[in-house]
């Protein structure tokens, strides 16, 4: 910062006011204000996990003002803006609570000291919850503000109700998965957030109950956009990306049975961090083959897949890396499709942006790449799922509408009659310009979480001729291509309940309407 004096003789040479430490990323001088004889200068800091600092320069000397949290956030930006009056200073922290923001008030005491007297924050942003009754899609194609076609709404839980009230500001949802308790048949939605994981009993889907919260790994960045969850042998496996040394949390889901006063804050039973020469910190996805008891992480530690034996759920064992190439997401199965050469083999189908790769990982010490395919105009081949007969692989491209490659959602159908030579057999174009994210296949239906346009359901009984048969827009105030709204869906509950997590909105419990045969 520079101080320039306007004297009768003209502008004087500037006086330079420097940051006391002068480290890269301090952003010293981002905000300046005067209160009496005190000059306040903000350094909101873009370095590491620091929250930001504001300095006061006066005749009494230099003072530093910070705020502390149990968990810091590298984007709190304390000192981003400063407003001052006589005896009162307001300092913003625009990144507080996952970018929800806040204002810290300081008042000057009679002894000349500045005390933090109040923090001003807005309430959590949310739409109103929908609970207690099933709402049917009307003839005008809507349920309240949500557009729909042949999909009913059991319940809607906003993001502010996915965790305890004191933790709710700025919470965003991401991935989800489901678990059915084999002893009680109770159904649970497992919901990823930017700061942890929620466990919600949806056995009565019109009256969901928040049972507990598994926070993120301590001392990792407070706001984590990506979280991914799968289940095996009554345990949940949770990873996060852009999350520092998060590792993979392993949580015994049977602990949800007898929670005396929900919601309870849990700790993981195990935190898996890999091995010395293949450490697991941030991982984008976890894939589990329930038929073999192996988990696969899309981890920076392996260029392909980080492979873990989880047959003893609380004693995971690293068994190797699948090579070559990076992996964004995958599905791993015991193959029973039309290519007899690989029947009974453990096959992983991997997406990595512009490539579709198929690997035989039966021998963990010697994984074999079978195919490395693409097509003429990929933007980002993101994720996909096999049809139940393993003959076709249904895939989405996350970025092709954004990139202008296509005008509406494109679903790719790959023929796998020859696993060593997959063929793009069909490109199906949806009715809306939605960016696609996660999709899953159950029976003859594909359930797609299509960001700003919500859940879309395709009938793929004839995989080469998909038909749109349902939709529910979870993000009624957002349109166009982009990364908001529906992140993921889980359609595998025996009850028929479909859950969808929508980033800004929260958790939806839905049901596909069955049309009578005419």
The token pair at 462 is: 């004839």
DSSP class of residue 336 equals -
- Residue labelled with tokens 């350094």: 43
Backbone angles phi, psi at 416, to 5 degrees: -115, 30
Residue 72 is predicted with a pLDDT of: 44
C-alpha to C-alpha distance for 373 and 391, rounded to whole angstroms? 16
Domain span(s) for CATH 2.130.10.10 in the chain: 144-512
Q: Please give the C-alpha separations between residue 467 and each of 147, 461, 463, 471, 475, in angstroms, as whole numbers.
A: 19, 9, 9, 12, 23
pLDDT tens-digit profile, the chain (518 residues): 555 555 666 555 565 666 666 677 778 888 999 888 888 898 887 666 667 888 888 877 778 887 665 554 556 888 899 999 989 999 999 888 888 899 999 999 998 888 999 999 998 877 899 999 999 999 999 999 999 999 999 999 999 999 988 889 999 999 999 999 999 999 999 999 999 999 999 999 999 999 999 999 998 887 889 999 999 999 999 999 999 999 999 999 999 999 999 999 999 999 999 998 889 999 999 999 999 999 999 966 787 899 999 999 999 999 999 877 789 999 999 999 999 999 999 999 999 889 999 999 999 999 999 999 998 899 999 999 999 999 999 999 999 999 999 999 999 999 999 999 999 999 999 999 999 999 999 999 999 999 999 999 999 999 999 999 999 999 999 899 999 999 999 999 999 999 999 999 999 999 999 876 55
The token pair at 49 is: 């996990």
Query: Euclidean distance between the first and final Cα of the chain, in Å?
Result: 76
By C-alpha distance, which of 188, 243, 189, 250 is closest to 214?
A: 250
Peptide bond before 189: cis, by omega within 30 degrees of 0? no
Backbone angles phi, psi at 165, to 5 degrees: -55, -35
Burial status of residue 156 (CB atoms within 10 A of its CB: 0-12, 13-18, 19 or more): buried
144: left (phi over 0), alpha (psi -120 to 50) or beta: left
Backbone angles phi, psi at 99, to 5 degrees: 80, 10
Burial status of residue 242 (CB atoms within 10 A of its CB: 0-12, 13-18, 19 or more): middle
Q: Which residues pair with 6 in a beta bridge?
A: 11
Q: Which helix (H) or strand (E) holds 97?
A: helix 96-99
The token pair at 247 is: 């590792």
CATH class of 144-512: mainly beta
The token pair at 334 is: 């015991």
Sequence-separated (6 or more) residues with CB below 8 Å from residue 386:
331, 333, 337, 349, 392, 393, 394, 416, 441
Contacts of 345-350 with CB under 8 Å at 24 or more apart are 346/289, 346/292, 346/294, 347/419, 348/287, 348/296, 348/305, 348/322, 349/384, 349/386, 349/393, 350/304, 350/305, 350/325
Cβ atoms of residues 291 and 235 within 8 Å: no
C-alpha to C-alpha distance for 247 and 273, rounded to whole angstroms? 5
């Amino acid at each position: 910062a520079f101080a320039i004096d306007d004297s009768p003789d003209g502008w004087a040479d500037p006086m330079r006011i420097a940051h006391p430490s002068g480290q890269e990323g301090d952003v010293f001088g981002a905000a300046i204000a005067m209160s009496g004889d005190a000059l306040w200068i903000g350094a909101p800091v873009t370095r590491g996990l620091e929250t930001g600092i504001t300095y006061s320069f006066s005749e009494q000397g230099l003072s530093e003002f910070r705020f502390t949290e149990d968990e810091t956030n590298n984007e709190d930006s304390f000192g981003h803006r400063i407003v001052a009056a006589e005896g009162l200073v307001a300092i913003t922290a625009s990144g507080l609570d996952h970018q929800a923001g806040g204002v810290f008030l300081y008042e000057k005491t009679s002894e000349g000291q500045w005390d933090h007297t109040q923090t001003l924050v807005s309430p959590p942003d949310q739409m109103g919850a929908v609970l207690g009754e099933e709402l049917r899609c009307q003839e005008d194609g809507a349920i309240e503000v949500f557009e729909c076609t042949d999909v009913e709404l059991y319940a809607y839980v906003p993001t502010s109700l996915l965790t305890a009230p004191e933790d709710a500001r700025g919470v965003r949802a991401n991935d989800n998965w489901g678990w059915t308790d084999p002893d009680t048949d109770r159904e649970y939605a497992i919901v990823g957030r930017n700061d942890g994981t929620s466990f919600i009993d949806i056995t009565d889907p019109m009256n969901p109950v928040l049972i507990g919260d598994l926070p993120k790994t301590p001392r990792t960045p407070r706001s984590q956009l990506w979280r991914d969850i799968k289940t095996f042998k009554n345990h949940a496996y949770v990873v996060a990306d852009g999350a520092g040394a998060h590792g993979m949390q392993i949580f015994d889901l049977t602990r949800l049975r007898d929670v005396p006063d929900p919601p309870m804050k849990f700790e993981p039973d195990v935190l898996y961090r890999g091995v010395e020469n293949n450490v697991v910190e941030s991982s984008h996805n976890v894939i589990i083959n329930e038929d073999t008891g192996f988990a696969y992480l899309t981890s920076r530690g392996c260029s392909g897949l980080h492979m873990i034996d989880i047959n003893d759920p609380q004693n995971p064992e690293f068994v190797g890396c699948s090579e070559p190439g990076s992996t964004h997401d995958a599905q791993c199965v015991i193959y029973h499709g039309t290519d007899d050469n690989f029947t009974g083999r453990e096959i992983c189908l991997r997406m990595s942006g512009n490539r579709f790769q198929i690997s035989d990982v039966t021998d963990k010490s010697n994984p074999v790449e079978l195919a490395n395919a693409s097509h003429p105009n990929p933007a980002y081949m993101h994720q996909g799922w096999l049809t139940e007969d393993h003959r076709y692989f249904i895939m989405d491209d996350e970025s092709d509408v954004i990139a202008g490659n296509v005008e509406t959602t494109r679903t790719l159908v790959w023929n796998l009659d020859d696993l060593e030579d997959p063929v793009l057999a069909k490109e199906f174009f949806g009715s809306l310009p939605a960016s696609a994210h996660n999709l899953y296949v159950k029976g003859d239906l594909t359930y797609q979480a299509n960001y700003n346009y919500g859940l879309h359901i395709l009938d793929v009984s004839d995989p080469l001729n998909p038909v749109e048969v349902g939709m529910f827009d979870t993000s009624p105030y957002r349109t166009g291509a982009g990364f908001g709204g529906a992140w993921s869906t889980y359609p595998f509950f025996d009850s028929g309940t479909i859950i969808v997590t929508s980033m800004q909105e929260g958790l939806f419990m839905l049901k596909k309407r069955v049309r009578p045969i005419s």
